[in-house]
Chains A and B, each alone.
Chain A
Amino acid sequence: MTHWIIAPVVLPALLAPFIVLAARYHIGIQRVLSVAGVLALVAIAAGLAVQASDGTITLYQLGDWAAPFGIVLVGDRLSTFMVLLTTLLALFVLLYAIGSGWDNRGRHFHALFQFQLMGILGAFLTGDLFNLFVFFEVLLIASYGLMIHAGGNARLHAGVQYVLFNLIGSTLFLFALGAIYAETGTLNMADLAQRVTLITPEETVGIRIAAVLLLLVFAIKAAVVPLHFWLPSSYAEAPAPVAALFAIMTKVGAYAIIRVYTLIFPPELAATAGLHDLWLLPAALLSLAIGMVGVLAAKKLDRLVAFSIIGSMGMVMVAIALFTPAGISAALYYIVHSTFAGAALFLVADLVRTGRGNLMLTAQPPVSGAALTAALFFIGAIAMAGLPPLSGFLGKLLLLYAAFASPHAAWIWAVVLVASLISIVGFARAGSTLFWKAQSLAPDPEADIPDEGQADPMPTPAPLAYIAVGGLIALLAAHTVFAGQVHSYTSSIAAQLAAPEPYIAISLDTPGKLSTPQEGY
């Protein structure tokens, strides 16, 4: 048994307190430690992904206790893929936070960032539902700190909403876990997958309620309409690098839905029949539509990006709700795209804010250095709206192709295509207002003259900030260029999810510490 699979959890868990204790007053040392930690995580995640790429499932028994009594971490293709995605995103977000100076506007940014990573990576790797809850709480409590990083009244106000909404979500999660435990007597995912099939059809009331509650919890995380209300103001008010990191948090919800509803409650399970296509698909289509209409209606750039995150999560959820290997594969391809594109757009929004001082979508006099920002926004918007040549277009194509087999294909095609059109109009409006109409405005003499005497109130961002955004854009480009390889890999992930027997077998049959009591124990 190798210990590498627990490294993504242990490394940030040790690094974070070390940063707080040893480097509390030295932002330079914090930055070095944090970047080194994330670089190490990227390397470990790449190693784990390579290890899992041939279909091997790695099991890690914490304390050597065998499942279902002990907690296990399971590294299969899906979880290592998500871990790699998270670490790559974290690297560029961290570089941006350092380059833009956001990490120095409040305290403990780097420690909270590491704790946040620990929670996200743990949630991807765990093979136990209660442990998933615990990692959700770890990532949430770190996100509360990050969300209100640097303070400000609007941010605190949005922070209260965010924390309260997530507390309600956590309570629902506990209700779901209690119901599942009462019905099955286990919380290990592999064990659950076996026991749920043994429940006789007359006694499925409890497990059905539990399955719906669990879906609600994950839908809150994934911001599926009508449970998306926490997202726009939280993401818009959060510091930009934090909002960019939060782009992966909605994907944690999507991951949990994929994992639980292919392994424990698969679509062919009689007890939960109808949950997937009758409930999840319409909700997903609705989120796609509402997200993209929100893009069109937003008055500020940060809200616009937040709504585009809801829209793209809708797209992901539509693909997941098909619950076919082709659908899951398209969803995973789109998840990568949506994470990088959403993060890049939040960072670009911050660059715009640095230049203009606000994010209102109104024509304002041009600022220096807007050309590069405009170019970055242009690329990010093309990616997010799903225009060719970037990966959003390919992801959408994969989704539409996967939807062919569905009985609801007409609905899916109509909503996806119309929503895309709306989002293109929304982004085009925002981009032309921000960058083009500025050129046609006459410079406002009253606004400019007082600034001459003062020190420059709007510092231009450091080159590192541009490099970080450029890095995310480069990842998007790579995601497009290597679309064939990525898609064949996501297809192999979906194939592994469609045949969960090896996952169950390795989780339950690996011998661990004896669970029978010893004499005098």
Chain B
Amino acid sequence: MELLVASAIGVLTAGGIYLMLRLRTFPVILGISLLTYAVNVFLFTSGRLTVGAPPILRDGVSTYTDPLPQALVLTAIVISFGMTAVVVMIGLGAFLGTDDDHVDDQTDTSTLDEEAEGTS
């Protein structure tokens, strides 16, 4: 099971990094989503993998699973979900405004700059 989980994290991370290097908004956002999935599973496994064990103290139970990583993962999921929503909105705004979804500065930014100074 360790091998399965570890390779799943590895594949997700590799896919995420590949997509992030595409430099268009949509693949980059997908790549970051994959990375956050990878990091969520990674955080989850940081408390060691235990199957079928309770996280809360009970009588007559000797094996427990670590409850803290689950709490950490929950926080991480909420935050990454919110952040992805924000970046989708900003990315959409930038795309609709400039008709260009490149993440890098490959367009002629001087025209953009002048436009911005006109409006600000």
Q: Interface on A for B, CB 8 Å cutoff?
A: 105, 130, 134, 137, 140-141, 144, 148, 150-157, 159-161, 163-164, 167-168, 170-171, 174-175, 177-179, 181-182, 185, 233, 237, 239, 300, 353, 357-359, 517
User: Chain B contacts of A167 at CB under 8 A?
Assistant: 32, 80, 83-84, 87
Instruction: Name the interface size band of chain B.
Output: 35 or more
Contacts beyond the supplied A154-B109, A174-B42: 13 A-B pairs with Cβ under 8 Å: A134-B79, A137-B79, A140-B83, A154-B116, A157-B112, A160-B25, A163-B83, A163-B90, A167-B87, A168-B20, A174-B76, A178-B46, A182-B47
A151 and B119 form a contact (CB under 8 A):
yes
The proximity string for B residues 84-98 relative to A, scoring 1 for CB distances below 8 Å and 0 otherwise, is 101100110110011
Contacting residues, chain A, for B109 (C-beta < 8 A):
154, 157
**Within the complex, what minimum Cβ distance (angstroms) separates A84 from chain B?**
28
Q: Are A156 and B117 in contact (CB under 8 A)?
A: no
Q: Using A144-B90, A163-B90 as known contacts, say yes or no to A130 and B112 having CB atoms under 8 A apart.
A: no
| Alpha-carbon distance between A239 and B79 when the two chains are bound, in angstroms | 25
- Chain B nearest Cβ from A389, distance in angstroms: 35
B103 contacts A161, CB within 8 Å? yes
Tell me if B90 and A156 are in contact (CB < 8 A). yes
Q: List 6 A-B contacts (CB under 8 A).
A: A144-B90, A152-B120, A178-B42, A233-B105, A353-B117, A517-B57
The answer to whether A357 touches B117 (Cβ under 8 A) is yes
Q: Quick one: given A144-B90, A175-B39, A181-B69, are A153 and B115 in contact (CB under 8 Å)? A: yes
> Inside 8 A of B114's CB, which chain A residues have their CB?
358
Taking the closest CB of chain B, its distance from the CB of A206, in whole angstroms, is: 10
Q: Which 10 A-B pairs have the closest CB atoms?
A: A154-B116, A156-B94, A182-B46, A153-B97, A178-B46, A154-B112, A152-B116, A178-B43, A174-B39, A181-B46
Contact across chains for B46 and A156 when beta carbons are under 8 A apart: no
Q: Are A156 and B93 in contact (CB under 8 A)?
A: yes
Residues of B within 8 A of A152 (CB): 115-116, 119-120
Known pairs A134-B79, A144-B90, A154-B109; A168 contacts B32 (CB<8 A): yes
In the assembled complex, which residues on chain A have CB atoms less than 8 Å from the CB atom of B113?
A: 154, 300
Q: Which residue of B lies closest to A186 (CB)?
A: B68
Chain B residues with Cβ below 8 Å from A185 are: 66
B101-115 with Cβ < 8 A to chain A: 103-105, 109, 112-115
Q: Which of A140, A160, A237 has the most chain B CB atoms closer than 10 A to its own CB?
A: A160
Residue A181 contacts which of B57, B68, B115 (CB distance < 8 angstroms)?
A: B68
Complex contacts, A164 vs chain B, CB 8 Å: 28-29, 32, 87, 103
Given contacts A164-B103, A300-B113, A358-B117, contact A141 B86 (CB under 8 A): yes
Would you call B82 an interface residue if the criterion is a C-beta within 8 Å of the partner chain's C-beta atoms? Answer: yes
Q: Smallest CB-CB separation from B101: which chain A residue?
A: A160
Q: Are A174 and B57 closer than 8 Å at their CB atoms?
A: no
Q: Among the interface residues B80, B98, B117, which one has the most CB atoms of the partner chain A within 10 A?
A: B117
Instruction: Give A168 to B83 CA distance when docked, in angstroms.
Output: 11
Task: Report the separation of the CA atoms of residues A147 and B26 in the bound assembly, to the nearest whole angstrom.
Answer: 21
* Separation of A170 and B77 alpha carbons in the complex (Å): 12
- Determine whether the beta carbon of A177 is less than 8 Å from that of B115: no
Partner pick for B83 among A141, A150, A177, A178, CB 8 A cutoff: A141
Residue contact A163 to B80, C-beta cutoff 8 Å: no
| B90 touching A171, Cβ below 8 Å | no
A199 to B: closest C-beta gap in Å: 16
Task: State A144–B84 Cα separation when bound (angstroms).
Answer: 12
Q: How many whole Å from A455's CB to the nearest CB in chain B?
A: 16
Interface residue B75 (Cβ < 8 Å from any Cβ of A): yes
Chain A residues with CB under 8 Å of B90's CB are 144, 148, 156, 159-160, 163
Of A134, A163, A168, A358, the contact of B35 (CB 8 Å cutoff) = A168
